[in-house]
Amino acid sequence: MSEVDQSAKIPNNVDLSHDQRLQRALEHWLPMYLEWWNDMGPNGFQTKDIYLRTATSIDAGGWAHFDYIKMPDYRWGIFLVPHAPERVIGFGDHFGKPAWREIPGEYRGNLRRIIVTQADTEPASVEQQRYLGSIAPSLYDMRNLFQVNVEEGRHLWAMVYLLFKFFGKDGRDEAEELLNRRSGDADKPRILGAFNQPCDHWLSFFAFTHFTDRDGKYQLASLAESGFDPLAATCEFMLTEEAHHLFVGESGLDRVVRRSARLTRETDGDPRSVGGIDLDLVQRTINYWFTYSLDLFGGEISTNAANYFGEGLKGRFKEKHRYEDHVMKEGGKTLSVVKGGKVVEEEVPYRNAINEVLREEYMNDCERALRKWNKTLDEEGVTDIELSLPSRRFHRHQGIYAENYFNPTGDLITKEEFERNVPKWLLNDADKDYLVSIMQQVTEPGKMANWIAAPARGINGQPIEFEYVRL
Ligand SMILES: [Fe+2]
Ligand SMILES: [Fe+2]
């Protein structure tokens, strides 16, 4: 692994200048990427100076360099975390053998599918969020939005590098397709459901970065275990950037909860009378994005997932530290399944349930955040309302629960009962209209929209009143 080459057209630490064919291919893709960014990236702020961090090296201190830049001038680069040459495969049937530096031929198709699926989510989220700048609740938040957007762009670069380097013509075709699909488009949608859902307002933005980017964290972490070393090294670095996206979501929702609680108390239970957000609406938003994000982990019982694990392509979350048996050829896992109109327990072979293992890690992490938000409610003196996560069976479109209807506590119900309750349980059009009506852009440095509390501190040691975006 070489030093970071900042003078190159594409900053990188993968020695691009010594692989002319790859370098030319990526430089050819760059203007197509920029065209996509200008068409589908943040709408209306491309010429503004924004206080952004750019990765300039991969060391702990150097990777977050802050400065004012215009988004199209952001230096989208390719950075891999250096790995020891003696790294071995940490799980599955090849456990303990040397990690692969090149694609193992028999797994080419599976690796291509894994990489393309991950890659597709990156531009999708930029597309979903493109109109949010013009209704941002503060300059601080606007800057965070754009930070997330440019970094999702960089994540696309990270994945496209793998496609170009290891997949030849197929990789080039896939890279083009990644710029051709569009979130929510009827004819050429993005690959995964959550990435085609509208994100029309900041409540969805915060829930998306909390719940959906958090799925990304768990997917990237399990790919960072991969026996295909370049994929592992790429994902490891993406995780450092992802942490900020999760912070934006979790702290954003916390600030909404805090403000909503205060307004609920001050208005005797009617925060909407002063343009605030009621806690029921926060709960519906949690229900909506949490369940769409659960779908992203794939089927509860999956031979694909079993194969990815057995083949050493995709491990578990913190495979090395959290598990003792890294092969898991034996053993099972108990799942709740629907049989004869009832929810019953059933044991399935462990490897086939590996998606559920990752989903549970994710759910525990989400529960932790819920406890924090409920503590915020307490602090603000609201003690008769608790926010919660719905059951993993509720409102699912993928996996073994998708065929049935469940209420938020996970009981089987009829389709009619489900549909009757949708307005109560899930973010809906009336909610969207209300949220859009209260969200107006706030441009005075340090000032916040009425529906959200101020953050605890600014970015990179700057005060909250800092001019994060020069309009
Ligand atoms: Fe990402
Ligand atoms: Fe992200």
State mean pLDDT over 422-436. Answer: 98
How far does the centroid of ligand 1 lie from the alpha carbon of residue 242, in Å? Answer: 6
The tens digit of pLDDT for each residue in 213-222 reads: 999 999 999 9
Coil, helix or strand at residue 278: coil
Please tell me the distance between residue 148's alpha carbon and the centre of ligand 1 in angstroms. 8
Which ligand number lies closest to the CA of residue 153? 1
Alpha carbon of 209 to ligand 2 centroid (Å): 7
Query: Which tokens hold the place of 226?
Result: 């991969």
- What domains are defined for the chain? 87-131+152-442 (1.10.620.20)
C-alpha 201/C-alpha 435 separation (Å) is: 7
Task: Work out the average pLDDT over 155-183.
Answer: 97
Q: Give the mean pLDDT of the chain.
A: 96
pLDDT digits (tens, 9 = 90+) for 47-99: 999 999 988 777 766 667 899 999 999 999 898 888 889 999 999 999 999 99
> For position 56, what pLDDT does the model report?
75
Does the pLDDT at position 345 exceed 70? Answer: yes
Q: What is the mean pLDDT of residues 431-447?
A: 98
Ligand 1 center to 336 CA (angstroms): 31
Residue 129 carries which side chain, given as an amino acid letter?
Q
Give the number of whichever ligand sits closest to the CA of residue 148: 2
Instruction: Look up the pTM and report it.
Output: 0.97
Residue 71, C-beta contacts closer than 8 angstroms, at least 6 positions apart: 37, 41, 42, 45, 46, 48, 50, 52, 146, 149, 150
